[in-house]
Every structure is written in structure tokens, then in C-alpha cells.
Chain A
Amino acid sequence: AQSVTQPDIHITVSEGASLELRCNYSYGATPYLFWYVQSPGQGLQLLLKYFSGDTLVQGIKGFEAEFKRSQSSFNLRKPSVHWSDAAEYFCAVGPSSNTGKLIFGQGTTLQVKP
């Protein structure tokens, strides 16, 4: 079955501290992987994506993610968190074809302490 698991429902970090959000996926074919961020009452903003090539991908707002095929993981990282990063983060997996059914995880809520 195709699925995405985000093991941490809620994470709290101090401003300036590093961040890692975990994502594990189960997908039969070669996956395309995404991280989105959602602020309260807003839609989803694409942070970064992995299709192929270098397994460390850079995104917007200083985020990066590493694809590890052997662990079926695509963890999101940021070296130094800012208060404005507080939001909900979603990992998603999709097909390599043009049919765009994305499968999302349940999300991780990030709280940033001053």
C-alpha cells in the first residue's frame, strides 16, 4: 500500500536551534517526494522536491531534505529555525507519471520557542 508516515505529530524547538522533521514512505514505484508548509488558514506552499539525481535537495527558506532510498526516508532539515517557521509541515509522495495523485502524511506541527 502507498503511504507516508510522519512519526512526529508535534515538535517544539527553540529559535536558532536546528530542526529535523522525519518522513517515511511506502511506494511501489520510483517516488517523487515533496515537502509542503501550511500556515494557519492557508494553502500549501512547496518547500522542495526530489525527482532524481543528488539525494540532498535544497529548497526555499533555508530548508533542505535528504532522500535515503535504503531507509525509505525523506527527512527535512534546517540549520537554524526562525520564529516565522512555526507552521504545519507535510511530506508527500507522488508518481513519476503525469497523473498527479499526491499522497500526504498527517503532518508535523512545528512550534518555535523564543
Chain B
Amino acid sequence: ETGVTQSPTHLIKTRGQQVTLRCSSQSGHNTVSWYQQALGQGPQFIFQYYREEENGRGNFPPRFSGLQFPNYSSELNVNALELDDSALYLCASSPEARGNEQFFGPGTRLTVL
């Protein structure tokens, strides 16, 4: 059974640029959640996708957007990058009707210069 995978592992961008992060959910899981983890902090919920629809959103501005595809993989897009967007971005997948049971991928480390 393949776990949650994320790409790329590391990414360096400059302020004002746009970035796309990718996540493949665990086999059999149809729900994907995204979190931002700043250095020394716990993860903060960005949003969740269930069957290609947004199913809950945290306190993040609209420049954070996402997509979920028919195969349940997902993308996180961040526009107009700011220095404070530097963080580890974690994706988690969940099985049907158990959106609060989340299995995390290794994360993407984003550095904004």
C-alpha cells in the first residue's frame, strides 16, 4: 500500500511569485487536507477537499487555493508569495467518511526569499 506522497521535496521561490505543490493520496482515500507548518509551530489547517469539492477552510487568504482531481490527488497553489509563506506544507489523506483520520505525507519545504 502506497502512502501519501508529495512533490517537490524542497522549493525556493522569490517574493511575488506563484507556486504549485502536489499531493498523491493514499490508496483508497478520497479526502485530502493541506496544512502549513511554520518553523517551531504546529501545523495550521489550510483547507480540505472531498470528492473534488472544498470541504472546509482555515484562516488563510484567497491567494491560497487548491484543486482535487478525479484520482483524488491534489494541488495547493499559492499566489503572490510572501516571506511568511516560508514553511513546511503538509498534505494528509483520509478514507471515506473519516475526514478527521488523517495520514500525512513527508511535506514540501517552501522557502520564499
Binding site for B on A (CB under 8 A): 4, 32, 36, 41-46, 49, 90, 92, 94-107
Q: Do A102 and B102 touch across chains, with their CB atoms under 8 A apart?
A: yes
Cβ of A103: which chain B residues have Cβ within 8 Å of it?
Answer: 45
| CB within 8 Å: A-B pair count | 76
Cβ of B58: which chain A residues have Cβ within 8 Å of it?
Answer: 101
The smallest beta-carbon distance between A87 and chain B, in angstroms, is 14
Cβ of A94: which chain B residues have Cβ within 8 Å of it?
Answer: 100
Looking at the complex, which one of B44, B45, B104 makes contact with A45 (CB distance below 8 Å)?
B104
Knowing A99-B55, A101-B48, the reply to whether A90 touches B42 (Cβ < 8 A) is yes
Closest chain A residue to B96, Cβ basis: A98
Closest chain A residue to B105, Cβ basis: A43
Knowing A43-B90, A44-B90, A105-B42, the reply to whether A100 touches B103 (Cβ < 8 A) is no
B107 within 8 Å of A (CB atoms): yes
Compute how far the CA of A68 lies from the CA of B29 in the bound complex, rounded to whole angstroms: 31
Q: Do B100 and A98 touch across chains, with their CB atoms under 8 A apart?
A: yes
Number of interface residues of B (CB under 8 A): 31
Digit string of B35-49 for contact with A (CB within 8 Å is 1, else 0)? 100001111110010
Q: Do B42 and A106 touch across chains, with their CB atoms under 8 A apart?
A: yes
B33 within 8 Å of A (CB atoms): yes
A-B contact sample (6 more), CB < 8 A, given A42-B106, A43-B105, A104-B42: A42-B107, A43-B106, A44-B43, A46-B103, A102-B102, A107-B42
Q: Do B43 and A104 touch across chains, with their CB atoms under 8 A apart?
A: yes
